[in-house]
A and B are shown apart, each in its own frame.
Chain A
Amino acid sequence: MRRGLQALPELDPPPGVWERSLAAADAPRPGPRRVWAAIGAAAAVTSVAIGYLATQPEHPVMPSSTVIVAEAANRPRVPFVALLEESAALEQLLAGMPRRPVMAGSTAATIAGLEDRIAFVDGQLAYAASFDVPQRQREALWTERVDLMNALVHVRYASAQQFVVER
């Protein structure tokens, strides 16, 4: 099996990718954002997801060379493996939740904002994994991911309940 996989042919990249990469690399980027207050708010209470998102820029951008250290204050430290397991469990929960076809614009914006933020944290996690960022910082990122996903579960659940009431 392994030999067969190793023998699979190398593929030619599609044309035009280099030009697009160059253009994207040369495009002006926003400066570093102040995210400490936002990360602290997200970690504090999952039920204030809407309030948290109201303090965020519309299009969060991953800093190119820095890792956000999401040191949530006054929170008990959860074992690293437990964080990973909780994150995986929340992903499964979200995957199984029905998506409401129509919802209020504010709710849709909240959900989109949380998902954008989770994608941002995922980018930070990928960076942390490849550049040997200290364990404590990785734990903080995973903690934030769990908090954001908890918030997303709450908002999606509340939206689904509203749908049931309306029907």
Chain B
Amino acid sequence: MPGVYASGVDLPDGYVAFVKASCPTCQLVAPALVRLWETRAPLTVYSQDDPAFPQGAEPLDDTDLRFSYEAHIEVVPTLLRLQAGVVVDRLEGWLRTDWERVTGINELGAGLPPYRAGCASRTLDPGMPEQLAIRYGGEKLRSRGVEVAEQEDEFEAMSEWGWTDGLPIVPPTRARVLRMLEATSRDPQDVVAVVPPDLAECTVEKAAINALMAGCRPEYLPVVLTALEAACTTEFNIHGLLATTWSAGPVIIVNGPVAQRIGMNSGGNVLGQGNRANATIGRALQLIVRNVGGGRPGGVDRATHGNPGKYTFCFAEDEHGSPWEPLSVERGLPAGTSAVTLFAGSGVQPLVDQQSRTADSLARTLAACLQAVAHPKLALTWDAVLVVSPEHARVFNEAGWTKARLRESLDGLLRRPGAEMVRGAGGIAEGMPASLAGAEIPKFRPGGLLIVHAGGTAGMFSAIIGGWASGAVGSEPVTREVRE
């Protein structure tokens, strides 16, 4: 493939060949290189494995792959022709007519076949690109390096530096971070979001470091980046969510094909432990808020109790087994789109109903339990996610209830007379303002109740994830498409 290439490396002018002895095509081409050498043409041969190969062409040792890496060699043999430091011809593999044209020697390939594909350059061996990037390509990463002394335990050191949420983290070495960054086509220095409370710019690189520390596999990174973008919007208000005395933290709900592709759990124990993607994506977001944003418990995080979900809270909706449209579709994205929805959630309250066999009865159970979110006498200021299990969804499905039908029923059931909810009513000082005594009060604001389908196939249980100050005064759920 002839062409003009700019070369940023210090290669000699004339012909420059890259070969390895273990490549059959290079063995085949060796006589042609020796012939070119014998014409006293300006030829430099770099050998990637055997510094003595090819004999008779005085090869130079490139077993450390420095020249191969810097010349971006992907195939051996590669023949370059340079003029005044610029690559003016580049041939990969063996095509006799090309080699003879570029060298100007008609019989260069005498006795050789017209064409042989080359082999992969050693620079592309498994694990090698990362090693070489570290060795020669340090410019890609901008984060400062921190040394762990010889006698120091790196896990203890990272904990002392305040990098962790209390659990051990994966040590962010350059090689691991570079591998993580391969999962995205985005430039490592792209700014993903400005992270509160310090309002620090979080680059793809910083997000990757924290995702790695959280235990993410590289393929989770696009979900982490999208969750970070969504969390740092004005609507979601992660600043307030971090600072609040309330228990809540960010909950990430994943929809669409990405969930299955990266192996997320939407079934049994969906809100529990044991699935790496669920566990580490939620944790990555929290580590970014901690390390990049500077948000820490006792600092800007003023939670009275917090909740275990503040370590990590991420799960996928079971779309396959659901009788209803997914949350992301309900929230405006096309079906089949990968998406995350961020919700300011305060913890999980499971609920039981093993007796209801009619949709109406089950809806009454759900409403009765939802009424207790935050306080049974408070309404409109707390959102909630209702996680409907497969066995409960089956009851609605058998009755032909769509999600809209369930919503309509819950809307009606969740209205209570203001007189029962105002301050002082029922002997409880907490409650709605006295001015609402004559009103009928809905528990949730419009759009304040999110419904998803997830959980194991056995169990007539559902779960409520309570929210936080809702809407413009606090947090609005935010749904974003995951671009991979």
Tell whether A pairs with B. Answer: no
Residues of chain A having any CB pair with chain B under 8 Å = none
